[in-house]
Amino acid sequence: MQRHHEHHGHQQPQQEYVGHDEHQKQLADVRQDLHQARQQHSHHDKHAGHRPEIFKRRFFICLVLSLPVLYYAPMLQMWFGYRAIAFPGSEWVAPILGTIIYFYGGWVFLRGAWRELHSKIGMMTLIALAITVAFIYSLAVSFGLRGEPFYWELVTLVDIMLLGHWIEMASVQGASRALENLAELVPTVAHRLVNGRVEDVQVNTLQHDDLILVRPGEQIPIDGEVTEGASSVNEAFLTGESRPVTKHINDEVVAGSVNGDGALTVKVTRTGEQTTLSQIMRLVEEAQSSKSRYQALADQLAYWLTLIAITVATLTFIVWLAFAPDSTFAINRAVTVLVIACPHALGLAIPLVIVNATAMSAKHGILVRSREAFERARNIQTIAFDKTGTLTEGRFGVQRIYTDQIDELKALRIAATLESLSEHPLAQAIVQEADRRQIQFTKGEDFQAIPGSGVEGTVNNQRYRVGRPEWVRELKLTFPAALQAGLKESESRGESAIVLMDDQQVLAVFGLADQVREPAREAVARLQEMGVQVVMITGDAEAVAKTVAEDLNIDRYYARVLPQDKASIIRRLKAEKPTAFVGDGINDAPALTEADLGLAIGAGTNVAIESADLVLINSSPLDATYALKLAKATYNKMLQNLFWATGYNVIAIPLAAGIAYSFGILLSPAVGAILMSVSTVVVSINAMLLRRLRLRG
């Protein structure tokens, strides 16, 4: 890692680039590639090709159409003691509206069942089978078959299932836009140098060895090597490096990083898919398309319940057809079994818990982006944190001041006076420390920024310089032994050192470092109390990583980690134990998608947020502990709800089949509907009880 630092002058506003149409075309290509990647594994999803809006629209339309059906239902008239208004043809209200609801509202389930028949039957098959049997039987009754139609059971079953799937899909709304955000990071136009002239060209037309000009304040459009100029470049988005890195001739620069106050001439070294940014985009896309899907317990139960329902209904029909006085009784029993075997509550068991957990998460500053996040989070045994911006503030603070022949406060006053005219992060750290100590600045004169070195100016008629330690040797000034020892000590801790000089010697050394966030200490302690191993991953140097790790009592850390290596480390950690990753930068996106659970710091980049399962809105690592605690409680509620949603079938299905008929006990569809309603109410109340959990206690 380079320890050379340059001070910025007043940064120029970033250039507004042209080529909007071309940029939009590139973004459209990214969307197309991402869509194709999703399509490759979409056949495994019961919601493949569906959007929340589909279920939402159909639910409300079917709900309105269901009201007349419920109003004319004989069973409801008997329960509530009213007589429906009769008019010529009123007996056809339920059949007509029931038919519309079956085809319009039930179509998504019928199509889903068709897909499941080509892979593995489950919830969609069960729903489709129940509504189809209920519809065909009810329609047959309307045209003369003896029996009681199931129209109101049919329409309420469709309504509840549409509601449940709408809630479920709404909880996972938002196909990841990470690749689009990555594509938007770099400019579409570059300043190419041709025979001493500057011409603006599209970035995708640049060739290997082309020379481009990067002006102060601009983003670097492509990977390359500096051939002329010196400047500091902010690479934090790509490398995780918390401080701008000084670039000289022969140094590499990366697309997407931001140039400082010096102009650079860059020779193109990588184009197209070879650039660092493109490789990160590929890693994110691969992680998205290859991440294994968590098979929800509800789907497993639906699979077995479907097999049981079909088997029991078939046996019921055969047995009663042999022993019943007429076939209508046998048909009625079989249909009742199928209708009862598809409880309304099963469709809501998981989504209701997720919605309540999501609302509770939001209240505590946690945004849920993945429906599987809570199921996976309960097993997490290792949590890896990115350092910069997650465990640390991502901004510098003065850690120590070494002085010689000058008072510490006076040294800080002089340095802050000069640095107040600079926008460099290290300069701002000096100024903020002076503000914290309530030091009044002295008026400076003849201020001048020296690219790649520092700043100089006159304070109280004395010339001073503040800049990188290497500047001392260039100016051939005296460097007292005590201050050299201080510099060595500061650098051994991975701190960034800048020096204050007059015309003869070095007067002070300031050790600056990225400051550890106070919530990070509590977060690490709590996680370790929960038995979760804490790991730190950073692109910073070994000394920096070691200092922060010791400060936070973290035993395991990785330093100097490149973007592509973060995902590899997470992969190795996953092989040992279920692993979560917390990060905030672009370089964290592949690791976030690779981890069993990705948590993005809310103040980070859109790419990190869009690649994560959970987003810590308040940017506090302490929220990661709340997420894991809530996940365990959520999973328990899911298990309880699945029990309540399906447990009654152990009794209801045999009774519906007529097993207690000889004892005068026969479960009618109406009673079965009551049991389904009770089951739904129990599931809803149980999900609401999740909100009583105290996360911060």
Note the residue count of the chain: 697
**Tens digits of residue pLDDT in 22-68:** 444 544 554 454 444 444 444 344 555 566 788 889 999 999 999 99
| Lowest mean pLDDT segment, chosen from 220-229, 588-597, 642-651 | 642-651
For 171-178, what is the mean pLDDT?
43
At 93 the pLDDT is 94
Cα–Cα distance between 619 and 157 in angstroms, integer?
42
Is the per-residue pLDDT at 466 higher than 90? yes
Q: In whole numbers, what is the pLDDT of the chain averaged over residues? A: 79
Strand partners, 212: 192, 266
Question: Which position among 159, 223, 261, 386 bears the catalytic label?
Answer: 386
Among 6, 150, 3, 187, smallest CA distance to 73 is for 150
Q: What is the pLDDT of residues 198-237, one digit of tens each?
A: 899 988 889 999 999 999 888 888 889 999 999 988 876 5
Domains of the chain from N-terminus onward? 186-288 (2.70.150.10), 299-345+631-697 (no CATH), 355-392+516-629 (3.40.50.1000), 395-514 (3.40.1110.10)
For range 360-381, the mean pLDDT? 76
What confidence category does residue 345 fall into, taking pLDDT thresholds of 50, 70 and 90?
low
**Is the Cβ–Cβ distance between 587 and 608 less than 8 Å?**
no
> What is the C-alpha separation between 570 and 579, in angstroms, rounded?
7
CB atoms near residue 386 (< 10 Å): 29
pLDDT of res. 347: 65
Q: What is the mean pLDDT of residues 243-263?
A: 84
Classify residue 342 as exposed, middle or buried by CB count within 10 Å of its CB (0-12, 13-18, 19+). Answer: buried
pLDDT digits (tens, 9 = 90+) for 530-569: 999 999 998 887 888 888 898 899 999 999 888 778 999 9
The rounded percent of the chain whose pLDDT value lies above 90 is: 22
Smallest Cα–Cα separation from 385: which of 621, 42, 672?
Answer: 621
| Whole-Å CA distances, 456 to 9, 11, 229, 498, 510 | 11, 17, 20, 13, 16
Q: Judging by DSSP bridges, how do beta strands 444-450 and 392-403 pair with one another?
A: unpaired
Query: Which range (238-252, 612-626, 680-694) has the least confidence?
Result: 238-252
45: annotated active-site residue = no
Q: What is the pLDDT of residues 3-16, one digit of tens each?
A: 333 333 333 333 33
Alpha-carbon distance 567 to 589, whole Å?
9
Region 416-433 average pLDDT? 84
- What phi, psi does 476 have (nearest 5°)? 60, 45
Amino acid at the residue 467: G
Q: Which residues are within 8 A (CB) of 345 and not within 5 positions of it... i.e. 6 or more apart?
A: 641, 644, 645, 676, 679, 680, 682, 683
CB atoms within 10 A of CB 688: 13
| Residue pointed to by tokens 């997490």 | 380
pTM of the model: 0.56
Kindly report, residue by residue over 472-506, the tens digit of the pLDDT.
988 889 899 999 999 998 888 878 889 999 988 99
